[in-house]
A = this chain, B = another copy of it.
Amino acid sequence: MSEEGLLYSLKHVVVGKPIASSHAHHERLSRITGLAVLSSDALSSVAYATEEVLRVLILAGTAAFSFASPIAFVIAAILAIVVFSYRQTIYAYPTGGGAYLVSKDNLGELPALVAAGSLLIDYILTVAVSIAAGVAALTSAFPDWHLSRVELTLGFVALLMIGNLRGIRESGRIFAIPTYFFIVTTLLLVGVGTWRALAGSATPFPSGEPLATTFQPLTLFLLLTAFANGCTAMTGVEAVSNGVPAFQRPESKNAASTMLVMAGLSITMFLGITLLAQWYHVMPSDKETVVSQLARAVFGGGFPYYAVQAATMAILVLAANTAYADFPRLASILARDGYLPRQFMNQGDRLAFSNGIVGLSLFAAVLLVAFGGDTHALIPLYMIGVFISFTLSQAGMVVHWRKARVRQWRTNAAINGFGAVVTGVVLVIVAFTKVFEGAWIVLLLIPAAIVVFKTTKTHYDHVAAQITLRGYAPQRRFHNTVIVPVAGLTRPVVEALRYGESLSDDVRAVYIDVEPGQTEKIKLEWYMWGGRSQLVVLESPYRSLMEPLLQYIEDVERERPEDYVTIVLPEFVPARWWQQLLHNQRALLIKGALLFRRNTVVTSVPFHLLR
């Protein structure tokens, strides 16, 4: 059993003390802090969205770059539609309306589980993509570190995991720094870049190592792929609508304003970076990000350049960190509904969240290793989950308005309906253009997640039916026969015998006779140490210790069917963890063999080793 003890102490050391109820409600968010806390995911995606568009267009030659700005404007328009659509969710679900809750309320179980599966996968990918992009910002500034890309990403995952296990509280002030630092540096980049471009002092940036590509014709499919890639700019916009109850009063109004500001910033930065990339002739490269090249071109290196890179990396790590709050929270809601194991359910201790945090980190680490820590390789997986949850969430809102029939419900339903159609179309485009690039993994993982949810739920339902007291007539047993397997007379054995005697007046010490000399010795010593227990010596023709013992227990049960049978085992509690490997093997075997026997209870009497 020491492993459990070890596990527990380990968790306690890493995780820290439980949180008091009073600490659970952290300070309410103002609009300023709300923007910082809830928009890092949405804003940070502009760091890689433009690059993902250009990487596709370059396949058709640099002339195709002229399509970048029309695509960016379409994406900006859709982003505006999505934000207006989500604004309505903020007012309709002032207690927080995630895609799972909205779908469950309005669309039923299966759509809700599709949304839940998509969201969990989405959170994992948020961690993987944001950290990969953050490391790309780092290695752009310090190209020597490029070779250790995977190691760097895993280092960040480990840092976030440990930080969250120990419990970084979502303190607005700490979060405000990187978010506003990013907003300021990026707006400065866009502003100075535009001014220089308009003033005619923009000089094309000579890319060190442009991407090696094989030429492809400029097809509709290529343009749709570029568009789908650019839609990464939209990831994370829903965060504000999930976090409504965290705002100061009036919660919905503050959240809605924050969301509008976030959308304005997001659109400005995305369009700005895309237009500048065209003006400055930035070429996507495997060694340096587009934003890094742009910053170098606009500022010519030096402090402003490093500030842009540092801000980009900081907000991307922050964005990854938001998934560390979202994933365990959704897992906890799913566990409460019976769709995930109970250990994900928050029950006061931090433990429940710890399981979610460790799970999230492991999955993200697997993805980062499998895809070589490459943002670009991970993007095709990212979009599917995001747009499934967008679409389901908006569709759920349409049903919500039809049921609620508040004033203006037709207008509201129309806005959300339009949002659902637009995001649905994007979803189809993403699935169509990305399925062979890796999106198939997610298209398999979502049904797999749903199978897990349904199986878990079914099992808990079955258990509930089996443990109910309704119609239960317990069979009363009063007497207890205690059996203590004995391999020799030692302190732990004698202590087990004495404990057994405190339970019952019928304690039987069972000794297996494999060495005749030993048996005589035990019989002699029994007068001294046997107490009220009766010594039973069993023959073992096959020299096996287990078979005769199990046979004897069966005999006792048959002899006294109205009794409990309790097997009392002495168990060493080692002083150091590795000593566990040297003890208790037989106890483990006996427990394993008796596990499926009814009315047999196995008890371990601990004997604590001092060294």
Give the interface of A toward B (CB within 8 A).
1-2, 4-9, 18-21, 24, 341-343, 347-349, 351, 456, 459-460, 462-463, 466-469, 472, 474, 476-480, 489-492, 494-495, 498-499, 502-504, 514, 525, 529, 540-547, 564, 566, 572-573, 579, 581-583, 585, 588-589, 591-593, 595-596, 598, 600-611
Contact = CB atoms under 8 A, between A and B. Distances in A.
A292 B543 CA distance: 48
B460 A582 contact: yes
A469 B494 contact: yes
Contact of A502 (B21, B477, B573): B477
A546 B480 contact: no
A603 B566 CA distance: 10
A354 to B, nearest CB: 12
26 contacts: A1-B592, A4-B588, A4-B591, A5-B591, A6-B592, A7-B592, A9-B592, A341-B585, A347-B514, A347-B543, A462-B609, A463-B572, A467-B492, A469-B489, A472-B491, A472-B494, A474-B494, A474-B495, A474-B498, A477-B499, A477-B502, A502-B564, A566-B603, A600-B606, A601-B606, A603-B603
Contact of A541 (B8, B21, B592): B21
Contacts of A603: 566, 601-603
A11 B323 CA distance: 42
Given A502-B479, A579-B459, A349 B591 contact: no
A490 to B, nearest CB: 4
Nearest to A546: B349
A588 to B, nearest CB: 5
Contacts of A349: 544-546
Nearest to A20: B542
A602 B601 contact: no
Contact of A503 (B24, B467, B472, B480): B480
A583 B466 CA distance: 14
Contacts of A593: 5, 8
A256 B8 CA distance: 59
Contacts of A489: 469
Contacts of A545: 347-349
Nearest to A600: B606
Given A21-B542, A592-B4, A592-B8, A491 B467 contact: yes
Contacts of A540: 348
Nearest to A497: B474
A589 B12 CA distance: 11
A410 B264 CA distance: 101
Contacts of A499: 477, 564, 601
A504 B478 CA distance: 11
A521 to B, nearest CB: 12
B4 A595 contact: yes
A563 to B, nearest CB: 9
Contacts of A605: 601
Contacts of A596: 5, 573, 608
Contacts of A9: 592
Given A469-B489, A502-B480, A611 B564 contact: no
B468 A491 contact: yes
A343 B585 contact: yes
A491 B351 CA distance: 27
A16 B593 CA distance: 15
A397 B131 CA distance: 66
Contacts of A598: 606, 608
Q: Which of A4, A460, A479 has the most CB of B within 10 A?
A: A4
Q: Which of A476, A489, A595 has the most CB of B within 10 A?
A: A595
A206 B344 CA distance: 68
A592 B5 contact: yes
A20 B541 contact: yes
Contacts of A544: 18, 348-349
A474 B545 CA distance: 28
A481 to B, nearest CB: 10
Contacts of A583: 342, 463
Contacts of A18: 542, 544, 546-547
B19 A542 contact: yes
A466 B5 contact: no
A602 B479 CA distance: 20
A476 B498 contact: yes
Contacts of A495: 474
A277 B444 CA distance: 58
Of all A-B residue pairs in the complex, the 3 with the closest CB atoms, nearest first, are A348-B543, A4-B592, A8-B592
A182 to B, nearest CB: 36
Contacts of A592: 1, 4-9
Given A348-B545, A606-B598, A490 B476 contact: no
Contacts of A607: 467
A543 B1 CA distance: 27
Contact of A491 (B469, B476, B582, B601): B469
Nearest to A4: B592
A572 B342 CA distance: 14
A349 B543 CA distance: 8
Contacts of A602: 603-604
A499 B474 CA distance: 11
Given A491-B472, A529-B469, A348 B564 contact: no
B503 A491 contact: no
A7 B610 CA distance: 30
B2 A466 contact: no
A71 B589 CA distance: 55
A48 to B, nearest CB: 37
